[in-house]
């Protein structure tokens, strides 16, 4: 084999990268294990422990680079929500409402008719809403002008009476895009402050939609409020640092006295700020140097000493003498001189809560002026993101409200100063805001005005002079990005359409742990079965080599997933396990080819070389078609389905590398050492060897069998239909686990009373667990509707006595509600469209690939016929059995993934058969075509048997041990493997033969 050294080097480098990436997962689990041992079952202690060491170095890679726990968590292998619990939410900002707002809610009949028409067009189109609105406006009245509608006070600088409709649409598009980007930034900031490990926040392809994934979240009601709440933009006057510092000194002295009294009372008493806020001193003691002195360690040492002049010899003494300043470093320079501005101190992020608690204590709070209020900055001071400033705000109104809020902002944009070199933000206000802004700027020249969003200070520019007319510029910004962010923040105050949840999935932590266990067991069982099978079928020598390649393949898949930052989901585990079965195919093709060369009388070395060469074509063709299917799944899938596609794609690539190159290196090494190599065991050597089945002769029987199955399937699909999941029809599902076994009818009755309609209820796994599906208020997009539906769910179950009447909603969602999912009507429409596009595109791509590779449209036609055959029969079986089998056979996104995977597997099998037929036709051009086809198909039976059996066994292990949530998914794959194997032999091959025969006759007639 050429380039063996390069391949070996690549394998070693790939293994090293995988080990490096997976080491972060190992270290993270090690630290979390220590936290569990420390907490002794108390989740709050566990959280505080991990929070206290977030910025501490826990991993030193070969002495080259240090990583904190926060770094390690960011680099570990991501687990999907279905494996560790959490919340997956899709939000949508209503572009319709944004357009109405930009027009000042115009009553123009053409405008409102265009809005209504755009809503209709959106149901059947993937085009962005602004474009659809423009098309609808043109359709209703080609002579109407958008400028007359959108020539508002806010847009007068960008739209005039002569602006064309296209010009106006460009402005609308720009404004809506900015509003959507702003909504995304607000949500991202809120999530960052929520404290979730490894959150995933991204804008989706459909404009206005935002995906938020929050692993480990338990308080789903709080998350809903957080995500859907309207942004609160406020403008506050500020105190100067010099004014506040004297009060901080007094607060420090009083805190020292209070701690001294408390210490005398009890050494272990937890400092209490109020009834709802406690600080666990044990966690603080677990790492005193990090928790208590983060500022002194990471900011310039001695700054606090210089400020106070105390000259402390050690940190413990400093803590006792200056308990407040040990947490909040005063805003001073090295010489102790106070910095100007409203920033009164800096604290490490994990100390901010303790500083808040201290400043909120009545004994401390009484020291400060009543109109003084503290807020932290949203952006950190340092690049590592650990330290934040504390800003002193001044309350100047009687009711304690800010003098200005975001409603007065009419426009804000990133701009440049008069020299065009420094970025700034241009801001405009309405007439009411302009008056207040003039007064504020007049009274605060030389001081700062703080811009606060959702309770955090985003900027505190210094007022240079009095500003009249409501137009002003904010300068002194460090970058264009900072200016753009600030402009978006200022615009948030006038955003008329808060984001609304249109799709939601929640998985409880206990169900997630069960999924991990079931996924691991199914993986382990399937892997062992495949290893045993290969060892048994291909002898100790070749079988062991194949097993080494399989183990390496699994290691590479997991390592590459971690390296790419991909998320491992339960369907992803199914994808890995399926890859195990399918990766066997490459080894089987090679081994069968090598055996053919040996039987032809070639020496072992030449047989191995020629066996590999002759197997390449079938291996590459089969794997590429499956790879193309995986790519289609990745492009059109979302959430867990994208995870499945990711592992499938990675698995196909790594299995090719392992099966083709690693095994070859092992065999070359064995040949060099003169080891004896066997490619079959004495038990399987003659299995399916030299068969002479007349496949084409039996094609009419196969046509009858397939025709009957297709007619039965179409009949069931016509009269019985399919059991569509909420992915395709919209609605909500809840998986509820009770303390005792329950009857489905009792649950239906209970919920029918509160919902006014009877929901669909099915046993889900054990008899004490049910899945409830309802479309109650699914069209209602109000902010609290999701909480309302859950409250009614709990209320109905309580009234029927199925759960205790004292259970609160929080207890119900954490202890009884294992998971929930919501899909709004607009999402379900898009999912249906994407499903149709995905399947159609997959069929077209496969047909084109076969056409190019085989330069014969008859092969492509046979393959497509087989795929249509497989799809219809799998759909028919789901239609026939969905109310008979004891597990869910819903048609959802997972089913579409299964169908596409079945197509990929089936075409893989078909391509191998076609490849051998093509080879036989070239080797024996004068032989009867029917004989060539039959012999070619017979020669692939050992390979077909080994691949199909190993894949089926793997899927059977997932089906039996993989858990209830993917049982329907794996059932579709099981059926697909059987039907796909059958169609390769009895549908694709005969049909391509029939058309090739007809074409040959036509050509023969023309020659005559």
pLDDT, residue 114, reads 93
Q: Are residues 861 and 919 in the same domain?
A: yes
Residue 687 lies in a domain: no
What pLDDT, in 10s, does the model give residues 538-570?
A: 887 888 898 898 899 889 999 998 888 887 877
Say yes or no: 607 and 747 in one domain: no
Same domain assignment for residues 809 and 846: no
The Cα 999–Cα 856 span in angstroms is: 11
Q: Residue 927 and residue 947: Cα distance in Å, rounded? A: 30
Here the tokens at position 21 are 């990436």
567-568 and 78-79 strand pairing: parallel
pLDDT score for 315? 64
pLDDT in tens, 640-659: 677 778 888 898 889 888 88
The predicted-structure confidence for 766-789, as pLDDT tens digits, reads as follows 788 888 988 888 877 776 788 888
Angle at 83 between CA 190 and CA 628, to 5 degrees: 95
- Among 148-157, 828-837, 854-863, where is mean pLDDT lowest? 828-837
| Residue 828 confidence (pLDDT) above 80 | no
Gap between the Cα atoms of 1008 and 992, Å rounded: 24
387 three-state secondary structure: strand
Q: Encode pLDDT of 501-527 as tens digits.
A: 777 777 776 666 776 777 778 778 878
Say whether both 617 and 709 belong to one domain. Answer: yes
Q: How far is the C-alpha of 498 from the C-alpha of 98, rounded, in Å?
A: 10
Mean predicted confidence (pLDDT) in 293-304: 39
- From 295-309, 709-723, 915-929, the region with the lowest mean pLDDT: 295-309
Task: Note whether 204 and 211 are within 8 A (CB).
Answer: yes
Residue 254 lies in a domain: yes
> In terms of pLDDT, which residue wins out, 654 or 625?
654
Helices 129-140 and 109-122: crossing angle in degrees, nearest 10, is: 130
Among 497-501, 662-666, 788-792, whose mean pLDDT is lowest? Answer: 497-501
Predicted confidence band of residue 209 (pLDDT cuts 50, 70, 90): confident
The C-alpha atoms of residue 27 and residue 20 are separated, in whole angstroms, by 11
pLDDT in tens, 420-440: 778 888 888 888 888 999 999
Lowest mean pLDDT among 165-179, 395-409, 498-512, 844-858: 498-512
188 touches 201 (CB < 8 A): yes
Closest CA to 118 of 151, 94, 102, 101: 94
Asked if residue 613 is part of any domain, the answer here is yes
Buried b / exposed e over 190-221, threshold 16 CB at 10 Å, is bbeeeebbbbbbeeeeebbbbbbbbbbbbebe
Same domain, 129 and 71: no
Indicate if the pLDDT at residue 280 is higher than 60.
Answer: no
The sign of the CA dihedral 725, 727, 729, 735 is positive
- The residue out of 346, 370, 402 marking a domain boundary is 402
Q: What is the DSSP string of 534-555?
A: HHHHSHHHHHHHHHHHHHHHHH
pLDDT score of 284? 31
Same domain, 145 and 113: yes
CATH code, domain with 817: 3.30.70.3400
Please check whether residue 52 is in contact with residue 592, taking contact to mean a CB–CB distance below 8 angstroms: no
Give CA–CA dist 574/580, Å, rounded.
10
Decide if 361 contacts 254 (C-beta within 8 A): no
Q: Residue 314: pLDDT band by 50, 70, 90 thresholds? A: low
Q: Which residue has the higher pLDDT, 193 or 629?
A: 629
Contact 455, 375 (CB under 8 A): yes
Q: Which of 17-26, 167-176, 645-654, 822-831 is the least confident region?
A: 822-831
At residue 337, φ and ψ (nearest 5 deg) are -80, 135
640: its two tokens: 């867990």
Instruction: Count Cα atoms within 13 angstroms, Cβ side, for 79.
Output: 22
What pLDDT was estimated at residue 279? 36
The answer, yes or no, to whether residue 195 has pLDDT greater than 70, is no
Over residues 128-140, mean pLDDT: 90
Tokens of 862: 């046979």
Q: What pLDDT shows up at residue 179?
A: 79
- The residue-averaged pLDDT of 918-922 equals 87
354 belongs to a structural domain: yes
Asked if residue 63 belongs to a domain, the reply is yes
pLDDT at 306: 41
One domain, residues 40 and 181: no
Residue 286 — very low, low, confident or very high, per pLDDT cuts 50/70/90? very low
Tell me which residue range forms the domain holding 444. Answer: 404-494
Is the pLDDT reported for residue 293 higher than 70? no
Integer Cα distance of 848 and 855 in angstroms: 10
Taking residues 314-339, what's their average pLDDT? 83
- Write the CB contacts of 592 (distance below 8 Å, at least 6 apart in sequence): 615, 942, 943
Shared domain for 519 and 666, answered yes or no, is: yes
Q: What pLDDT does 395 receive?
A: 92
Q: How far apart are CA 853 and CA 911, in angstroms?
A: 10
Which tokens is 785 given? Answer: 């509707």
| CA 573 – CA 580 distance, rounded (Å) | 11
At which of 823, 848, 874 does a domain end? 823
* Interior/surface letters 853-865, b for 16+ CB within 10 angstroms, e for the rest: bbebebbbbbbbb
761 Cβ contact partners less than 8 Å away, ≥ 6 residues apart = 744, 747, 748, 751, 770, 771, 772, 773
- CATH, residue 477: 3.30.1360.200
**24 and 99 inside one domain:** no
Strand partners, 376: 390
Q: Is the pLDDT of residue 700 over 50?
A: yes
Copy the structure tokens of residue 130: 């602004």
Nearest in space to 655 (alpha carbons), one of 549, 542, 548: 549
Grade residue 925 by pLDDT with cuts at 50, 70 and 90: confident
DSSP 822: E
8 Å CB contact between 463 and 445: yes
* Residue 271 located in a structural domain: no
Most confident stretch, 43-52, 157-166, 307-316, 417-426: 157-166
Same domain, yes or no: 857 and 902:
yes
Whole-number pLDDT of residue 277: 37
Q: What is the pLDDT of residue 492?
A: 61
Q: Which of 654, 642, 579, 609 is nearest to 908 (CA)?
A: 579
- Whether 281 has a pLDDT exceeding 60, the answer reads no
Q: Averaged over 578-602, what is the pLDDT? A: 83
**21-30, 482-491, 667-676, 693-702: the lowest-pLDDT one:** 482-491
Mean pLDDT of 925-950: 87
Asked whether the beta carbons of 722 and 876 are under 8 A apart, the reply is: no
Q: By C-alpha distance, which of 724, 758, 1001, 752 is closest to 890?
A: 724
Tokens of 853: 């590779």
The mean pLDDT value of the chain amounts to 82
637: Cα separation from own chain's centroid? 11
Mean per-residue pLDDT, 66-95: 81
Total of domains in the chain: 6
* 455 Ramachandran zone, left/alpha/beta (phi>0; psi -120 to 50): left
Would you place residue 160 in the very low, low, confident or very high pLDDT band (cuts 50, 70, 90)? confident
Does the pLDDT value for residue 701 go beyond 90?
A: yes
The packing angle between helices 893-923 and 941-961, to 10°, is: 170
Radius of gyration from C-alpha coordinates of the chain: 34
Sign of the CA dihedral with 601 first, then 607, 613, and 616 last: positive
DSSP 313: S
Within-domain flag for 725: no
Q: Report the range of poorest mean pLDDT among 370-374, 481-485, 731-735, 862-866.
A: 481-485
Q: What are phi and psi of 374, to 5 degrees?
A: -105, 140
DSSP 112-150: HHHHHHHHHHHTT--S-HHHHHHHHHHHH-TT--THHHH
**Residues 224, 252: one domain?**
no
The band of 193, judged by pLDDT with boundaries at 50, 70 and 90, is low
Q: Residue 824 has what pLDDT? A: 75
Average confidence (pLDDT) over 434-458 = 89
pLDDT tens digit string along 976-997? 999 999 999 999 999 999 888 8
Model confidence at 57, pLDDT cuts 50, 70, 90, reads confident
The mean per-residue pLDDT over the stretch 300-320 comes to 52
For residues 578 and 958, what is the distance between their CA atoms, to the nearest angstrom?
9
Looking at the fold, whether 814 and 893 belong to one and the same domain comes out as no
In angstroms, the first-to-last Cα distance of the chain is: 50
Average pLDDT value for residue range 222-237? 78
Percent of the chain with pLDDT strictly greater than 90: 17
Which residues have C-beta within 8 Å of that of residue 931, sequence separation ≥ 6?
none
User: Which range, 524-528, 695-699, 808-812, 889-893, is most confident?
Assistant: 695-699
- Residue 774's φ and ψ, nearest 5 degrees, are -145, 150
Instruction: Show Cβ contacts of residue 622 under 8 Å, excluding neighbours closer than 6 positions.
Output: 585, 589, 907, 908, 909, 911, 912
Q: Which residue carries 């720009």 as its tokens? A: 174
**Does residue 856 sit within a domain?**
yes
Q: How far apart are CA 902 and CA 725, in angstroms?
A: 20
User: Distances from the Cα of 108 to the Cαs of 103, 104, 145, 477, 837, in angstroms?
Assistant: 10, 11, 11, 42, 38
Contact 398, 422 (CB under 8 A): no
- What pLDDT digit, counting tens, does each position of 346-394 carry? 998 878 888 999 999 999 999 999 999 999 998 888 876 788 999 999 9
Q: Which residue has the higher pLDDT, 743 or 122?
A: 743
CA atoms lying within 13 Å on the CB side of residue 546: 32
- Helix (H), strand (E) counts: the chain: 38, 25
Query: How many angstroms separate the CA atoms of 657 and 556, rounded?
Result: 10
Among candidate residues 352, 376, 402, the one where a domain is terminated: 402
């Amino acid at each position: 084999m050429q380039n063996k050294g390069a391949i070996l080097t690549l394998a070693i480098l790939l293994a090293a990268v995988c080990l490096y990436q997976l080491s972060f997962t190992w270290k993270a689990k090690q630290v979390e294990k220590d936290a569990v041992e420390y907490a002794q079952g108390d989740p709050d202690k566990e959280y505080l422990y991990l929070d206290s060491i977030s910025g501490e170095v826990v991993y030193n890679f070969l002495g080259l680079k240090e990583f904190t726990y926060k770094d390690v968590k960011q680099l570990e292998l991501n687990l999907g929500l279905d494996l560790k619990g959490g919340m997956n939410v899709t939000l949508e900002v209503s572009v319709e409402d944004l357009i109405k707002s930009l027009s000042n809610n115009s009553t123009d009949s053409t405008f409102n008719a265009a809005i209504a028409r755009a809503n209709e067009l959106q149901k059947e189109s993937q085009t962005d809403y602004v474009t659809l609105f423009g098309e609808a406006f043109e359709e209703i009245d080609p002579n109407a002008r958008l400028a007359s509608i959108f020539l508002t006070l806010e847009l007068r600088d960008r739209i005039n009476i002569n602006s064309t409709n296209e010009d106006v649409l460009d402005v609308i598009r720009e404004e809506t895009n900015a509003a959507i980007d702003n909504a995304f930034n607000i949500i991202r900031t809120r999530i960052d402050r929520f404290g979730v490990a490894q959150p995933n926040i991204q804008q989706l392809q459909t404009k206005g939609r935002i995906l938020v994934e929050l692993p480990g979240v338990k308080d789903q009601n709080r998350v809903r409020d957080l995500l859907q709440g309207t942004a609160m933009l406020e403008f506050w006057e500020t105190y100067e640092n010099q004014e506040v510092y004297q009060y901080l000194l007094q607060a420090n002295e009083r805190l020292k006295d209070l701690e001294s009294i408390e210490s005398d009372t009890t050494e272990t008493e937890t400092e209490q700020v109020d009834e709802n806020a406690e600080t666990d001193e044990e966690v603080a003691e677990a790492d005193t140097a990090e928790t208590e002195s983060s500022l002194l360690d990471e900011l310039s040492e001695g700054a606090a000493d210089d400020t106070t002049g105390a000259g402390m010899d050690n940190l413990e003494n400093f803590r006792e003498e200056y308990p407040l300043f040990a947490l909040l470093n005063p805003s001073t320079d090295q010489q102790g001189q106070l910095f100007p501005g409203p920033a009164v101190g800096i604290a490490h992020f994990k100390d901010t809560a303790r500083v808040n608690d201290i400043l909120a204590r009545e004994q401390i709070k009484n020291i400060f002026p009543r109109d003084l209020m503290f807020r932290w900055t949203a952006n950190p001071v340092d690049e590592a993101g650990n330290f934040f400033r504390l800003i002193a705000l001044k309350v100047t109104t009687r009711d304690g409200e800010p003098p200005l809020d975001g409603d007065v902002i009419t426009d804000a944009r990133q701009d440049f100063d008069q020299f065009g070199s420094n970025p700034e933000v241009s801001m405009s206000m309405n007439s009411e805001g302009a008056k207040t802004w003039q007064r504020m700027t007049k009274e605060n020249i030389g001081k700062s005005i703080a811009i606060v969003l959702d309770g955090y200070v985003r900027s505190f520019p210094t007022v240079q002079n009095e500003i009249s007319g409501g137009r002003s510029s904010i300068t002194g910004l460090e970058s264009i990005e900072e200016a753009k962010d600030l402009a978006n923040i200022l615009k948030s105050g006038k955003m008329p359409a808060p984001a609304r949840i249109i799709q939601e999935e929640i998985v409880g932590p206990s169900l997630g742990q069960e999924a991990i266990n079931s996924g691991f067991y199914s993986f382990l069982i399937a892997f062992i079965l495949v290893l045993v099978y290969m060892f048994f079928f291909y002898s100790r020598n070749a079988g062991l080599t194949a097993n080494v390649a399989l183990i390496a393949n699994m290691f590479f898949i997991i390592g590459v997933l971690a390296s790419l930052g991909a998320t491992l989901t339960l369907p992803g585990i199914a994808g890995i396990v399926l890859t195990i079965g399918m990766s066997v195919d490459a080894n089987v093709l090679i081994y069968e080819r090598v055996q053919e060369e040996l039987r032809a009388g070639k020496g072992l070395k030449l047989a191995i070389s020629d066996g590999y060469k002759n197997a390449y074509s079938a291996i590459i063709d089969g794997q590429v078609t499956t790879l193309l299917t995986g790519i289609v799944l990745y492009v059109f899938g979302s959430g867990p389905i994208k995870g499945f596609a990711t592992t499938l794609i990675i698995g196909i690539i790594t299995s090719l590398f392992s099966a083709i190159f690693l095994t070859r290196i092992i065999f070359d090494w064995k040949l060099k050492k003169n080891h004896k190599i066997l490619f079959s065991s004495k038990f399987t050597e003659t299995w399916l060897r030299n068969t002479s089945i007349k496949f084409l002769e039996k094609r009419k029987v196969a046509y009858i069998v397939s025709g009957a199955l297709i007619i039965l399937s179409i009949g069931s699909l016509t009269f019985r239909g399919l059991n569509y999941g909420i992915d395709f029809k919209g609605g909500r599902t809840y998986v509820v686990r009770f303390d005792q076994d329950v009857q489905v009818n009792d649950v239906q009755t209970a919920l029918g009373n509160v919902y006014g309609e009877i929901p669909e209820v099915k046993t889900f796994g054990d008899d004490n667990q049910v899945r409830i599906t309802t479309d109650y208020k699914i069209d209602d997009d109000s902010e609290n509707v999701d909480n309302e539906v859950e409250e009614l769910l709990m209320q109905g179950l309580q009234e029927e006595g199925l759960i205790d009447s004292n259970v609160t909603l929080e207890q119900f969602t954490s202890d009884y509600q294992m998971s929930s999912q919501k899909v709004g009507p607009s999402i379900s429409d898009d999912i249906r469209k994407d499903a149709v596009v995905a399947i159609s595109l997959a069929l077209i791509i496969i047909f084109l690939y076969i056409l190019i590779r085989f330069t014969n449209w008859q092969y492509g036609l046979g393959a497509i016929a087989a795929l249509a055959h497989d799809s219809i029969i799998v759909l028919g079986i789901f239609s026939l059995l969905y109310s008979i089998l004891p597990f869910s056979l819903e048609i959802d996104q997972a089913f579409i993934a299964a169908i596409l995977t079945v197509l990929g597997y089936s075409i893989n099998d078909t391509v191998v058969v076609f490849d051998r037929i093509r080879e036989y036709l070239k080797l024996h051009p004068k032989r009867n075509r029917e004989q060539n086809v039959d012999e070619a198909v017979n020669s692939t039976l050992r390979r077909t048997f080994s691949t199909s059996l190993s894949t089926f066994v793997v899927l059977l292990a997932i089906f039996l041990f993989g858990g209830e949530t993917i049982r329907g998914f794996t059932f579709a794959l099981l059926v697909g493997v059987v039907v796909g194997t059958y169609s390769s032999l009895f549908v694709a091959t005969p049909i391509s033969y029939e058309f090739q025969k007809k074409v040959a006759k036509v050509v023969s007639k023309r020659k005559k």
